[in-house]
Amino acid sequence: MTIQPNSVEARDIAYQMPAAADMRRHEETGSVVMERGDGIYVWDNTGKRYIEGLAGLWSVAVGFGEKRLAEVARAQMERLPYYHSFSYKTHGPSVDLAEKLIQLAPVAMSKVHFTSSGSEANDLMVKMVWYRANALGQPLKKKIIGRIKGYHGVTIAAGSITGLPRNHESFDLPLDRMVHTSCPSYVHFGQPGESEADFTARMLQDLEDLIAREGPETIAAFWGEPAMGAGGVLLPPEGYWQGVQEILRRHDILLVADEVICGFGRTGHMFACTTYGIAPDVIVLSKQLSSSYLPLSAIVMNDRVYQPIADESHRLGVFGHGFTASGHPVATAVGLENLKIIEERDLVGHVQRISPHFMDRLARLATHPLAASWRGVGLMGAVELTPWETPFTAAQTVAARMEQEGVIIRGIGEAICFCPPLIITDAQIDEMFDIATRAFDAVLAERG
């Protein structure tokens, strides 16, 4: 593509630093400029239409162009465009959404605190874990366990819990209070001849061994996505979460469930904690909370977490934390309306009904000569490719060809990952996978 002087593409290169990109490559190629969206589709500024096969960034539950969310945002903007939550101030939209989240939570919860992104929410939760430990007179109980290939964001603490090297390299991460246990992906880390049950037992033993090495008296919390998203749609083996929870209870370690990707219907239940039988102390939410129409995230905590923090704030006279935009009235109003749409249109039930067809098309795509296997839950899934001579080039090549053909997804590791808006239909699933198959065929033909 020739980039014209003074075009959006040229000005993007001139003035904007991109996210998750090779900046030198960006200087040469520029970016695709998206102009509008409707349903599961987005259009760039040349008029080309794409199926958004990753729901933006795992996040646009109700699809693009939902007028109800725009109307609610406008009405709230006109009524009270901004107010903060500092120093005993609040407003109706944040209270309404907090109440709704407590009602929806899969286990008994006590309080909600709002931030603006999943990274911020996870970062703040780390601070609160440390604050709570001090409140309880446990000054040594500060370490956090994350998992290899887990993803919890890119701020300093959240990025440290994340278990992906690219989010650590040259950033001087992870922090020394963060440790990582094994990744429970049987397809990637199962040993030759090892059954899934034996793999689960080994993962749990790895966790036990880590806790023993570090000392349970030094470990405050365990962070985990019920199903890993940005690591490549990695699903827990049978019995894994039950075993993890038993270990954490025995060692008095908090469980933080990161549902930033999994929450609000993605796995076929309102929360993936229900899908996998998880009873966490804290749930971290974002993305589909507002369908990413506005930046919004939430920390939902039980009384076990809240009460010591409240006591410490009373002892000190203040909880010395707050963001300017926490619980922003427009964002929380949109979040509440987004949840109303999910409930009124029974999008959770829709995922349950449509998931078998989605899985069937994943399985059929995995029979392609380029593919090795597939996996999925609800309306998120991946097709693992057979690696090429240079690692990780297969998925990137296929993903680029799919975008050329009109489907945007992500290539992660050796996998092609799908996570479309929850509103997708059977016919649109077929359209998406037909295009994917065409892209697979084109790449195979080019490779000879």
| Tens of pLDDT, residues 345-356 | 999 999 999 999
Question: If 0-12 CB within 10 Å is exposed, 13-18 middle and 19+ buried, where does residue 74 land?
Answer: exposed
**pLDDT of 233:** 98
**pLDDT of 448:** 74
The class level of CATH for 69-344 reads alpha beta
Same CATH topology for 32-62+346-447 and 69-344: the answer is: no
In the sheet where 380-385 sits, what is the strand order? 371-377, 380-385, 415-418, 410-412
pLDDT over 90 at 300, yes or no: yes
Length reported for the chain: 448
Integer CA distances (angstroms), 88 to 248, 298, 330, in order: 35, 19, 19
Contact 228, 146 (CB under 8 A): no
Q: Is the peptide bond before 93 cis (omega within 30 degrees of 0)?
A: no
Q: What is the mean pLDDT of residues 48-71?
A: 98
Q: What is the mean pLDDT of residues 10-33?
A: 94
Q: Give residue 2's pLDDT band: very low, low, confident or very high (50, 70, 90).
A: confident
pLDDT over 90 at 413, yes or no: yes
- pLDDT tens digits for range 42-56: 999 999 999 999 999
Q: Rounded to an integer, what distance in angstroms lies between the CA atom of residue 439 and that of residue 448?
A: 14
- pLDDT tens digits for range 314-339: 999 999 999 999 999 999 999 999 99
- pLDDT tens digits for range 195-251: 999 999 999 999 999 999 999 999 999 999 999 999 999 999 999 999 999 999 999
For residue 447, give both structure tokens.
């490779």
Per-domain boundaries in the chain: 32-62+346-447, 69-344
Integer CA distances (angstroms), 379 to 251, 266, 356, 418, 423, in order: 35, 6, 9, 8, 10
Q: Give residue 1's pLDDT band: very low, low, confident or very high (50, 70, 90).
A: low
pTM confidence score: 0.96
Which homologous superfamily is 32-62+346-447 in? Aspartate Aminotransferase, domain 1 (3.90.1150.10)
